[in-house]
Amino acid sequence: MQSDPRILGNADVFENYKYADSGGLNFYERYVQFYTTLAWGWVNDSDFQNLSKVKRVQDSLKIRRVLKE
């Protein structure tokens, strides 16, 4: 029989392991609380769309709609 804690019903032991990188501690909890300064090692800033331009276009469309009314 394997001694994997998950097989023995003790999977919570994995929740108590200390992570080697202190920046990774409580990552999930900080993520779901919208802590936006988290360093994501698997994505780059260039992977995200610049939403400031999108917002300007949306604002412009709202103004045009109001002017037509």
User: What is the per-residue pLDDT across 6-47, written as a single tens digit (0 to 9) for each?
Assistant: 888 888 888 777 766 777 777 778 777 876 666 667 777 777
Q: Do the beta carbons of residue 54 and residue 61 sit within 8 Å?
A: no
> Sorting pLDDT into bands at 50, 70 and 90, what band is 4?
confident
Q: Do the beta carbons of residue 65 and residue 59 sit within 8 Å?
A: no
User: Can you give the residue ranges of every domain in the chain?
Assistant: 11-68
Of the two residues 65 and 36, the one the predictor is more confident about is 65
Query: For residue 16, what pLDDT is reported?
Result: 79
Query: For residue 38, what pLDDT is reported?
Result: 66
**What are the phi and psi torsion angles at 39 (to 5°)?**
-90, 120
* Full-model pTM: 0.31
Instruction: Report the 3 state secondary structure along the chain.
Output: CCCCCCCCCCHHHHHHCCCCCHHHCCHHHHHHCCCCCCCCCCCCHHHCCCHHHHHHHHHHHHHHHHHHC
Query: For residue 36, what pLDDT is reported?
Result: 63
